Structures are given as structure tokens and as C-alpha cells.
Amino acid sequence: QVQLVESGGGLVQAGDSLRLSCAASGRTFSSYAMGWFRQAPGKEREFVAAFSRSGGLTSYADSVKGRFTISRDNAKNTMYLQMNSPKPEETAVYYCACAADLISILRTRVDYWGKGTLVTVSS
């Protein structure tokens, strides 16, 4: 069993920066591929970024490449999403997730979800 708790959401102006955190407890953090998803009001949940179990591979949605960076600290069992220059249309609840491998993350075959943290980007 894995518990995921997101934090760091809030109100941010377009063009500023925000860092989200996801604290994991339970099984060893490095046993899973980890990722971020988001769900805007009235829209389906969508993939944002992820890395493999080893951390050696990362994947980003085209819309966030070059602006968002995913990282993790295995010693702290914590994953991060650095959001630079967010856009108003990226207002959403951001969820962290884990799965057996990166492919599963990309196919949204997630084993565990956090409850999400709301990010509101003002123009």
C-alpha cells in the first residue's frame, strides 16, 4: 500500500513559478514509476510528467516541455513538479500517481493516486 499526499498548490500569476510536492509513504519510493497528472474543470484527467522507477527516464506532455520539471528525492520519499511560466489554461487539480513502470504511467494504468492539490493560474 502506498499513500501519496500532494502539497504546494495555490494561486500563482501567469509567468511566475510554483513547485508542487508529493510525499509518499508505504512501500519503498523507488519501487515505482512516479508521475503527475492534472484535471481542469470539465475536462478529463491528463498526463503531465513522469519518470521511471530508476529515475533515469523522464517523459513530459508536449504542452509543458521546457517549462515544467519533474524530480524526486528518494531519501525524502518525495517527488516534485517545478512549474515555470504556468498559463491560465493550466489551472487544474494536480495529482501525483505511481505505477509499476513508466509505460503504465503513460497509459494511465495507475496503482495509486493522491487526492490532488489545486493550482489556480491567474492572468
Q: Hey, how many other C-beta atoms are within 10 angstroms of the C-beta on 101? A: 14
Q: For residue 113, what pLDDT is reported?
A: 97
Q: Are 86 and 121 in contact (CB under 8 A)?
A: yes
For residue 57, what pLDDT is reported?
Answer: 94
* Spatial CB neighbours of 116, under 8 Å, sequence gap ≥ 6: 6, 39, 93, 94, 95
Per-residue pLDDT tens for 47-89? 999 999 988 899 999 999 999 999 988 889 999 999 999 999 9
| pLDDT of the residue at 66 | 97
Choose among 75, 93, 84: nearest CA to 36: 93
Residues 18-41 have pLDDT tens digits of: 999 999 988 766 789 999 999 999
* pLDDT in the model for residue 26: 80
Alpha-carbon dihedral sign for residues 95, 97, 102, 103 = negative
